[in-house]
Structure 1
């Protein structure tokens, strides 16, 4: 649950406060700044004196260096896709993980891609320490335009000592090879290079699950979304819950089959399409909390058609622009207009 206070919001897991979210914007207001330092002392009661010394040290503070974002890495034809992803990950790492206990940016995951990418630009401008969700957005922003690269979210819900934790990374797929971008307190819970180690999605997920188990975490749920369109100005929203698996309650062979099914769905979706589809991508998935089955997938995909070429898109756009002529049968003409497919530039 989240408890809203003046200027910041506490994110809780039961009675445990995980962190605070800054609601006052930047620069930090006095109340958010005071809450950040107080929370740090509450988390580390044995280091209160050291924390006070750091807080009062203003004159001798080292100069802050801002890392240069790799804005043009996506269009650099001299670099391989693996090298481009390494550049993006290096930049994310140089921003450093946010250990302050105060998340500096207020992010709503239900916003459109355009709004989330605007927040990502703001984060790059400020160059402040970040958490996993902020690293996800920055990675999404900087990888937009890399031809042939599919990006999707992978989110984890784990339990450690009765406390629930959540983590999200940016999954990537290129030429049947999988990897991941992101940031975490643990190095093996963030970056996975495109080195050919993960030739299927199940191997990538298993690697994260094994890493969590090594740290004593129980993986309660893994959620995977649909690939995200390469368009910084799109008003589509990210599909976060295309597939949900519970590794602690499901046999490994069973959820491996489910992961293979979501990959087959991706192959039937034109991720790099310029125009919106008549049928929203959200209609491809089951309601929240249910697992995709082979029967439901096949039935849904049979009724969904995507525009595969330019001519079809142009015909749809022309038919949408043409205004119907007024005649006596207005009701029948209205019904025909509603059935006409449309295409909207995003």
Structure 2
């Protein structure tokens, strides 16, 4: 437990960034740590950084990007337009280069808790990184009938430093894509345009991008589909399958990716209940380099109980912000959304 208001995230001896543990607005000690860390990272630009800091009170008011809350159930938009609007919103929040992660995130929280965090992130409208973008993408895509969402997590190494990255994989019919945010555009958004008709092709596209940047991909984790229920007390299954592409033959991990897709077809991602049986028990690990996944008895042994009702009110920040909106004027063919089937 930190006592100084922030915590360092390290890779070996290298500090990657700091996590704000004091909440928002930033405390004086977190603000000071953010600026000094920036100077430590870029000592040749210390004077320029100091000049920017001294002028901070003179900057114009920053526009507040209005989240597309209702885009998921908008019948006037096609599926591709919905995902594009969500991705555009995520990009407009911008990547966080400050060295201080503004939000205290815990991946082990249930979906309801993570979605509370997502609402907080959208309310504050501050720069974000990949995991915050992942949570926003889950929140805003909830309610798109037929769209399966799942995590794709990467662990890579570059110059002896280990990095982690995550995007929200999406599947609609036989098409795959992804939503997310990264310093590199080809490590984030992948449109759902028919280019990736197999999950392995989507993964290979990320692998090639990492190779182009000189990163060695150590591990890829893919989870089970995330149910369309913002109030769910289930936790996300982060690693239904684990791939080590530098130690596994391409044909082998493609076969395992196809296997996890077959398991997804047996799952009801719209179930508005909490399972008494952990979803992690639905996949059984082996000692192979590719974690094999299996599903007992086609999920028929699960028992459920109803969730308790919870408030989904999202209060606005007390900080005065200028409102801007994303483009929502054009119309195309409908995709048949059924908002009554989803708890949002």
TM-score bin (small chain): 0.7 to 0.9
Offset from partner CA, 1:5-61 (integer Å, 9 cap, x none): 510000000000000000000000000000000000011111000000000003431
For the Cα contact (< 8 Å) 2:285–2:291, is it kept in 1?
A: no
Offset from partner CA, 1:272-327 (integer Å, 9 cap, x none): 1123345432211235986433xx62xx42273168xxxxxxxxxxxxxxxxxxxx
* Number of the residue aligned with 1:301: 296
CA RMSD of aligned residues (A): 1.7
For the Cα contact (< 8 Å) 1:241–1:288, is it kept in 2?
A: no
For the Cα contact (< 8 Å) 2:110–2:234, is it kept in 1?
A: yes
Map 1:5-16 → 2, pairs under 5 A: 5-16=3-14
1:57 and 2:67 equivalent? no
Alignment partners' CA distance in 2, 1:91 and 1:289: 41
Report the CA distance shift for 1:218/1:66 in structure 2 as closer, same or farther (over 3 A): same
Among 305, 319, 340, the alignment partner of 1:343 is 305
Offset from partner CA, 1:113-160 (integer Å, 9 cap, x none): 000000000000000000000000011111111111100000000000
Alignment partners' CA distance in 2, 1:284 and 1:186: 35
For the Cα contact (< 8 Å) 2:233–2:274, is it kept in 1?
A: no
Relative to its length, the structure with more helix (as a share) is: 1
* Number of the residue aligned with 1:137: 135
Deviation for aligned residue 1:87: 0.3
Alignment partners' CA distance in 2, 1:223 and 1:100: 28
Deviation for aligned residue 1:250: 0.4
Map 1:10-159 → 2, pairs under 5 A: 10-159=8-157
Q: Which has the higher contact order (CA 8 A, sep 6+)?
A: 2
Aligned residue for 2:274, secondary structure, equals coil
Report the CA distance shift for 1:342/1:141 in structure 2 as closer, same or farther (over 3 A): closer
Alignment partners' CA distance in 2, 1:188 and 1:176: 21
Aligned positions, number: 307
* Number of the residue aligned with 1:336: none
Aligned residue for 1:74, secondary structure, equals helix
Deviation for aligned residue 1:345: 3.2
* Number of the residue aligned with 1:292: 291
1:231 and 2:229 equivalent? yes
For the Cα contact (< 8 Å) 1:269–1:306, is it kept in 2?
A: no
Deviation for aligned residue 1:99: 0.1
Alignment partners' CA distance in 2, 1:212 and 1:5: 37
Alignment partners' CA distance in 1, 2:301 and 2:46: 59
For the Cα contact (< 8 Å) 1:155–1:168, is it kept in 2?
A: yes
Report the CA distance shift for 1:35/1:306 in structure 2 as closer, same or farther (over 3 A): same
For the Cα contact (< 8 Å) 1:270–1:306, is it kept in 2?
A: no
For the Cα contact (< 8 Å) 1:71–1:142, is it kept in 2?
A: yes
TM-score (norm 2): 0.86
Structure 1 ranges of 4+ moved more than 4 A: 287-290
Alignment partners' CA distance in 1, 2:220 and 2:227: 22
Offset from partner CA, 1:45-79 (integer Å, 9 cap, x none): 11000000000003431220011110110110010
Alignment partners' CA distance in 2, 1:151 and 1:303: 20
For the Cα contact (< 8 Å) 1:157–1:164, is it kept in 2?
A: yes
Q: Structure 2 regions of 5+ residues with no counterpart?
A: 309-344
